[in-house]
Structure 1
């Protein structure tokens, strides 16, 4: 069975290029990638019929793409159930990126040091259309497996790192980002009203940092700042998440936000 969560986005990404605008765009490759992206929100395996429905492809076309990805090792088929899972080669692609990305290599030692100093979970994320993607996640002991893994994609409006990433956009672009990923509640306290979210992004833009409380998970708070390059151009957000019973927002602001600023400065000038 296919399960969608509040963080889900369609398999065909809203920020994908329009083939009509690009004569070099390979439409068949985009269709093939839809098959892999269909697994983004799958709780378990997917059958061929489900893949066809999620991608908008005909069953025959979906079957050809699925077979090709299986032969290449990017999908694995259960012979008994005839259902598919992502294969290990998908992880290998992520490793190639993380191993060679200059920002990751520059930031990682500083983020490890921050995690060791504060004992809390530390993350680095980048903007992808109207969403954010975690590049690095250094867990605390309390985090679940899903919260430890890099590569997770979430709506940018919903947490401290994403809101800081949105501060680099003007108000019209922030409104459009919120419209592209209509807010839905993760918890009873999740802010979902577009005007209120825009005001929170404006506040973060003015303050230079963002604070959140109970927005994605109950009893979790977060703080984030922007990471910039030597020319002061925003590159990513670095953030910390903590249990609310240990860190009220005033303590998070007083103790963690200054450490985030120092870490961002060290990475920028390192």
Structure 2
């Protein structure tokens, strides 16, 4: 199976513009910043919104927005004069998912796992202090937002992210938490640094991570690492389920062994 960089190497922040890097195209970075401004947008953004979110001047923002619109990556509403992401953005994601070796190798096994347990199954990778879902196979109870791949989440707050973070040492973990201070999603979300370090350390020791009510009330999660032929971590595979159906004891008995078997099957595919 084709290997990826380990989570430790992925934990660094994306490269910033460097005056000493002759190959870095600063204008391209600014253009991509315009698209990334839509990450937290509920629907659409006006030109002033985009300029504010990106830190660009309004004139520069207008040029980038116009270019993205001409290329089909942004769509402008003629009446409101506001912008939203265009279908070509989804097309880029399709190109990646179609050609990624890990996704193609893992998908049949994850579908089989979902069919056996009837629960939502995911595969995610580390990106800085966050995690990004590459595959999400939904259960009937999931909302649209929970079904879509490509979503970025803080890694510390769920089982898959904690397994990915478990590959880092405590110093790197503290740095990641300092860069993105934890915030509570529910009344039970663990946000204290020392408590999170202990939970991630326990996941490192056990080889699996369990969570309860960390992002959504009445939701539990279980995750293990997916490794390559050299035993280097590639991604995390996880399951989410209703807590009233899957207390911790049932997760350990019924779900964690299935996750381990699925990870081994993918590793040796």
Q: What TM-score comes out, normalization by structure 1 length?
A: 0.94
Distance in 1 of aligned mates of 2:23 and 2:205: 41
Check the 8 A contact 2:220/2:243 in 1, yes or no. Answer: yes
Check the 8 A contact 1:110/1:263 in 2, yes or no. Answer: yes
Check the 8 A contact 2:210/2:221 in 1, yes or no. Answer: yes
Partner of 1:72: 71
Partner of 1:268: 267
Check the 8 A contact 1:223/1:240 in 2, yes or no. Answer: yes
Partner of 1:173: 172
Check the 8 A contact 2:98/2:104 in 1, yes or no. Answer: yes
1:35 and 2:34 are equivalent in the alignment: yes
Check the 8 A contact 2:159/2:210 in 1, yes or no. Answer: yes
Deviations 1:236-262 (A, max 9, x none): 000000000100011111110000000
Distance in 1 of aligned mates of 2:17 and 2:61: 21
Instruction: Report the CA distance between 1:78 and its aligned residue.
Output: 0.1
What is the SS of the residue equivalent to 2:92?
helix
Check the 8 A contact 1:124/1:137 in 2, yes or no. Answer: yes
Distance in 1 of aligned mates of 2:29 and 2:155: 24
Instruction: Report the CA distance between 1:19 and its aligned residue.
Output: 2.0
Partner of 1:10: none
| 1:79-90 map, 5 Å | 79-90=78-89
Partner of 2:225: 226
Distance in 2 of aligned mates of 1:178 and 1:60: 36
Instruction: Report the CA distance between 1:174 and its aligned residue.
Output: 0.9
What is the SS of the residue equivalent to 1:226?
strand
Divergent runs of 4+, >6 A: none
Partner of 1:252: 251
Deviations 1:29-59 (A, max 9, x none): 0000000000000011000000000000000
Check the 8 A contact 1:14/1:180 in 2, yes or no. Answer: no
What is the SS of the residue equivalent to 1:134?
strand
Instruction: Give the gaps of 5 or more residues in structure 2.
Output: 1-11
What is the SS of the residue equivalent to 1:115?
helix
Distance in 2 of aligned mates of 1:44 and 1:252: 37
Instruction: Report the CA distance between 1:18 and its aligned residue.
Output: 3.9
Partner of 2:104: 105
| More contact order relative to length (CA 8 Å, sep ≥ 6) | 2
Further displaced range: 258-267 or 22-31? 22-31
Instruction: Report the CA distance between 1:150 and its aligned residue.
Output: 0.1
Instruction: Report the CA distance between 1:22 and its aligned residue.
Output: 2.2
What is the SS of the residue equivalent to 1:90?
helix
Partner of 2:128: 129
Question: Alpha carbon RMSD of aligned pairs, Å?
Answer: 1.0
Partner of 2:51: 52
Give the total of aligned pairs: 258
Instruction: Report the CA distance between 1:14 and its aligned residue.
Output: 5.0
Partner of 1:162: 161
Distance in 1 of aligned mates of 2:171 and 2:43: 38
